[in-house]
Structure 1
Amino acid sequence: TIEGRDGIKNLLENRLVPTGLVNLRLSHEDLRAPEIQRLFPDLVLLRLCFEFGTKVGKGTAVCYLVPIPGSKWKAYSLFTCLESLNDFPEQIGSLRKRTVEHGTWEERRRQEEELVNGDPTVVVIGAGHTGLEIAARLKYIGIPHLVIDKNARVGDSWRNRYKALSLHDTIWYNQTPYLPFPPTWPVYSPAPKLAGWLEGYASYLELNVWTSSTITKTQWNDEAKTWTVEITREGKETRVLKVKHLVFATGFGGRPVMPDLPGKSDFKGEVVHSSQFTSASHYVGKKAVVVGACSSAHDIAQDFFNHGVDITMYQRSSTFVMSDVAVAELLGTYFKEGIPTDLADVYNTSLPNAVVRRIHQRTVPFTAETTDKAILDGLAKAGFKTNLGPYGAGLIPLLFDRSGGYYMDTGTSQHIIDGEIKIKSGSSIERFTETGLKFADGSELEADIIVFATGYGDPRDSMRAICGSDVADKVVPLWHLDEEGQSSGVWRPCGHDGLWFGVGNLALSRFHSLHLAMQIKAIEAGVLKRSEVTF
């Protein structure tokens, strides 16, 4: 995002002519036609949608105008999004495969999956939703790919987590590229159900995935611009591949973070991180403590309550809480029945993050005093501390700056309000005891199991373990918003040639996986010269 007259002037002078902008056309079709948007009584925008072309591709632009005195309008922001490459369109729709395969399909797929005809161009590490969506985009833009995952089955990254896990945002927000959920799908997807969907997704889209596989060694050749990648499959076979690009799709965080507290060896119960927890069904009739008060902590506490376990949540700091009703209202502006997902993605991204933050600085306090007032008041009475997020802007800055610190309520808050899930806060943990935890104020909590829902470390951790410190030290910090208000190092060059990161929920991965695939395709086709890639 570039702002200010001088910055925009400099951008246009340097990029407009080389880009070769052509065929700029105002859209008049349904949902793309000019539209007045009254965000607040004192804030009105006129949204215009354009189609455009460049020397290399086609895309969509969204411009917002604001009224000024004299019944005139002035440009406020302009968003451009490249959606296809001229010479390399996605092989979908009318461009889909038309060859009739009489008894040859199974053998063809076997050869593709086993790389019989040569090494892939890209290795994607991680077969969760992000890795699969990246692989799908690569495949249908003509880039040979291979996805590596340590788990036994596609979807295990969701299937093997705690049983109470469910998506907290809606089906319309979480659609997968090329294969939308059926109309029977529930609004909120349980994790095991999503895991099954991802397994089917990989199969139906014919993605090349090696499960039960790990990368044991990598080496970058800067002269040849290739990676040598050593992969062990099922602990038996070892394959060595030469590829042009590595894409890490291993999630928001790195290694699980566990506080180093004294006395752990004294504790007679069980201590696990939320990433290791599976089900509360093993602890019926016992006492549990969950350390943490954001999404995972709430889901796990809910699971304990559902199984009749005496559960206390220890809250270290305040949490931003938004009800499912408010979340549906927030996402429902664009992500709802009747609006194509591709267009919803464009509109949802069409205002700069800094502007969205300012808008939410007005909407979030209003929601807290209206839609969510009863929940927030009840939580306060129960001793659960809430906040309005950074800058008073709620969820969005927490998502893009921290990827944490919030809970989108799908029912647990009421159990806290009713006292069915107890809250402990206001004093730091001093140490473990034989029977639980002791706090600085002298109080103690008894527990048979303590679950630390305390987050994850640097998302570069998994890459460092595979690629080594020489590579990792060149990679910029990931995910937070940079000086231009964009996510640092993800879906874009990260600081090391031939290395990429895909990070995000289903919606962000759906949208930006295409941009990542187009960048790789443009580099491999010579449309984008490596010397032009900036970090």
Structure 2
Amino acid sequence: MLDKTDDVSIATEGWLAQFESALATSDDALLKSLFHSESYWRDVLALSWNLQTINGADAIISELQARTIGAAPRAFRIDPDRAAPRRVIRAGTSTIEAIFRFETDQGRGSGILRLIPDVGSTLKAWTLLTALDELKGFEEQQGASRPRGQSYSRDFRGPNWLDLRKAAAEYAGREPDVLVVGGGQAGLSVAARLKQLQIDTLIVDREPRIGDNWRKRYHALTLHNQVQVNHLPYMPFPPNWPVYIPKDKLANWFEAYVEAMELNYWTGTEFESGTYDEAQGRWSVVLRKTDGSTRTMHPRQVVMATGVSGIPNLPDIPSLKAFTGTIQHSSQYEDGEAWKGKKAVVIGTGNSGHDIAQDLHASGAGVTLIQRSPTLITNIEPSAQLAYAAYNEGTLEDNDLIATSMPLVLAKRSHVMLTEQSKKFDQPLLEGLERVGFKLDFGDGGTGWQFKYLSRGGGYYFNVGCSDLVARGEIALKQFSDIEAFVAGGARMKSGETLAADLIVLATGYKPQEYLVRKLFGDGVTQRVGPIWGFGDGQELRNMYTRTTQPGLWFIAGSLAQCRINSKYLALQIKAIEEGLLPAARERRLYGSS
């Protein structure tokens, strides 16, 4: 056994050596002695070909026994090219944290080990991550393996680079292996990963210009997290970029990214429907161009990269049809200048509702914010950035691996602590909001804004000034429950007063992604796949970044960081399927998942 020591590298090397020996010799007693009773193993494709988290020493040993035979994990070593083993605090616990490398019969991987003392001060594994980095024989094209392109001996009458790029993007007489639906950060990230794995991939997006999914959002929008967290794969933002990226700057970067990464991208193209041919193992999908023409394609894989949901949620408010002014969903809102001197009502108190209310107020409109349910409020600095503190130091690759390594239980524990810290920072603001009747919420079990996002895609606001306006009464606040009915000129309150309005903005979010799946693929596929996003009773996001029970159908969504990290693992699975290393669909139910 390992005794507690100040030399964290020796402790790590000793544990890894014993772990490898125990796996190789099927020494269950030794293996069990290496894990703390409260321990967590997250495997990301490396041994199980799944994204899964196992809790507790006994369950971990059982799963390792089941997976080791097929994967043959070995060559566990501290990675000399990553951050050295060190003492850190994770989820409020002091631990030794080390990044290591290893390999299996089919691939090479990276992992993170965290050691804490057990009874008697013996160091044992508290958390373990094993994550696949690359497939042997199918490594990414970069560095020494980068494509050579046209050699120094050129055919001056043949096609040049531009001719070849145009031909590749036209898909005349050929089909893509993978069709990616949606050209935002999710679509670009996974398409870039697939490109590096030499998988023919086409992105389609209904907008007329690359980046319009950001460019067309409301005028004042900037990202709410900082630039160092938000890089796309392979191409970090330039060092002179602002801390908070404006929407138009990001949209223009998307255009540059598509060009630089040589991604095939069809703008003005809407995915209308898809049916799967089980015998052929291919989809038949209908794409409609803005000129009305259609193209039927037969990709083996379809990746839905349309965001957490693409269908606006329009609440059923029967009396709303009596209102004779303008009604917009937040996705339709662009700018407040047209409403100067007029009265606006914004229904919804998430990020979009607050930002739109603030934009209208800045444009000279009289604004009332309507709250439907309690909302989490946190100042954008420093509180909202606490979750990303690790990205202020170290390399992007190390921090992405650290983010990947945190099991759900400990991630929640960390965010409870962060939420308590942010409440202290934000106390004057929160007290001011409560004084004007704003109803506050801090997430399920106090887990904060990030788990609101991961569970429901919203329900919080990063304060960039609107909450201060509400607390000071410069933007009025009403509760939806106090509205009796909407009338021609606005809303009649239960108190008898009429809240006058020329504009009503429904900042009411989006429907769950299952609605879009049903619209595009039908009831059968929707029922087969099941819920998308959120955790259910499992420890991984449902049907995200991994094989679904519908062969050839994938989902990717989330922040730029989530898409950068998880696009790697989604692309590796598609490559493994394309090369015959992995079945096309997962079993109906995985260990530890919902």
Whether the aligned pair in 2 keeps the contact of 1:143 and 1:521 (CA below 8 Å) is yes
Identity of aligned residues (%): 36
Which amino acid letter does the alignment assign opposite residue 152 of structure 1?
Answer: P
Question: In 2, distance between residues paired with 1:22 and 1:441?
Answer: 71
In the TM superposition, residue 74 of structure 1 has moved relative to its aligned partner by 2.2
Once the two structures are TM-superposed, the CA of residue 257 in structure 1 deviates from its matched residue by 1.2
1:218 to 251, 255, 274: 274
1:487 aligned to 2:541? yes
Q: Which amino acid aligns with 1:202?
A: V
Deviations 1:470-516 (A, max 9, x none): 22221120011143310001111222111111111111011111111
TM-score where L is the length of structure 2: 0.85
**Local SS of the residue matching 2:519:** helix
Q: How does 1:161-172 map to 2 (within 5 A)?
A: 161-172=217-228
Deviation at 1:236, TM superposition (A): 4.1
| Equivalent residue letter for 1:10 | S
Cα deviation 1:289-348 (Å, max 9, x = unaligned): 110101100110111111111111111111111212234642443212x52222211111
Bigger CA drift: 252-261 or 322-331? 322-331
For residue 118 of structure 2, what is the aligned residue in structure 1?
A: 68
Q: Which moved more, 1:491-500 or 1:459-468?
A: 459-468
Secondary structure of the 1:263 match is helix
Partner of 2:532: 478
Letter in 1 for 2:150: V
2:408 corresponding residue in structure 1: 353
Q: 1:24 to 1:71 in 2, by over 3 A?
A: same
Does structure 1 residue 193 correspond to structure 2 residue 243? no
Equivalent of 2:86 in 35, 55, 80: 35
* RMSD of aligned alpha carbons: 2.0
Q: 2:502 aligns with which of 402, 426, 448?
A: 448
How far does residue 60 in structure 1 lie from its aligned partner after superposition? 1.1
Structure 2 distance, partners of 1:60, 1:255, is 38
The match for 1:206 is 262
The match for 1:79 among 109, 129, 149 is: 129
Shift of 1:268: 2.1
Deviation at 1:200, TM superposition (A): 1.4
Q: 1:154 aligns with which of 202, 210, 217?
A: 210
Contact kept, 8 Å, 2:387 with 2:418, in 1: the verdict is no
- 2:557 is matched with 503
Whole-angstrom distance in 1 between the partners of 2:306 and 2:214: 12
Alignment partner of 1:366 out of 412, 418, 421: 421
In the alignment, the residues of structure 2 paired with residue 476 and residue 89 of structure 1 have an alpha-carbon distance, to the nearest angstrom, of 33
Q: 1:476 to 1:292 in 2, by over 3 A?
A: same
Q: Which entry has the higher C-alpha Rg, 1 or 2?
A: 2
Q: Tell me which residue corresponds to 1:387.
A: 441
Q: Partner residue of 1:527?
A: 581
- 2:525 maps to amino acid: V
Q: CA deviation at 1:351?
A: 1.5
Whether contact under 8 Å (2:549, 2:585) holds in the other structure is: no
Amino acid at match of 1:13: Q
CA-CA distance at 1:427 after TM superposition = 2.6
Structure 1 residue 457, shift from structure 2 partner: 0.8
Q: Partners of 1:525 and 1:68 in 2: how far apart?
A: 44
Where 2:309 maps in the other structure, the secondary structure is: coil
**What is the CA–CA distance in structure 2 between the aligned matches of 1:466 and 1:55, rounded to whole Å?**
39
Distance (Å, rounded) in 2 between the aligned partners of 1:270 and 1:11: 58
Structure 1: tracts of 5 or more residues without a match: none
1:141 deviates by 0.8
Aligned residue number for residue 62 of structure 2: 10
For residue 100 of structure 2, give the secondary structure of its aligned residue in structure 1: strand
Report deviation, 1:164. Answer: 2.3
Q: For 1:191-240, what per-residue CA distance to the aligned partner results, in whole angstroms no more than 9, with x for missing partners?
A: 12211111111111111111111233422110111111222223243322
Q: Which residue of 2 aligns with 1:414?
A: 468
Partner of 1:138: 194
Among 164, 180, 193, the alignment partner of 2:236 is: 180
5+ residue gaps, structure 2, are 1-52, 590-594
- State the shift of 1:127 in Å: 0.9
- 1:227 equivalent in structure 2: 283
TM-score (norm 1): 0.95
Moved more, 231-240 or 415-424: 231-240
Task: Establish whether residue 377 from structure 1 lines up as the match of residue 431 from structure 2.
Answer: yes
Aligned partner of 1:282 in structure 2 is 338
Does 2:177 match 1:121?
yes
What secondary structure, in the 3-state scheme, does the structure 1 residue paired with 2:209 have? Answer: coil
- State the partner residue of 1:308: 364
Task: Check conservation: 2:550, 2:585, Cα contact below 8 A.
Answer: no
Q: For residues 242-271 of structure 1, what are the alpha-carbon distances to aligned partners after superposition, in whole Å with 9 as ceiling and x for unaligned?
A: 210111111112421122223333322111
Looking at structure 2, the residues matched to 63 and 314 of structure 1 have their Cα atoms a distance apart, in angstroms, of 47
Question: How far has the Cα of 1:67 moved from its partner?
Answer: 2.4
How many pairs were matched up? 531
SS of the residue aligned with 1:265? helix
Structure 1 residues 38, 513: closer, same or farther in 2, change over 3 A? closer
Distance in 2, matches of 1:110 and 1:385, equals: 55
Aligned match of 1:400: 454
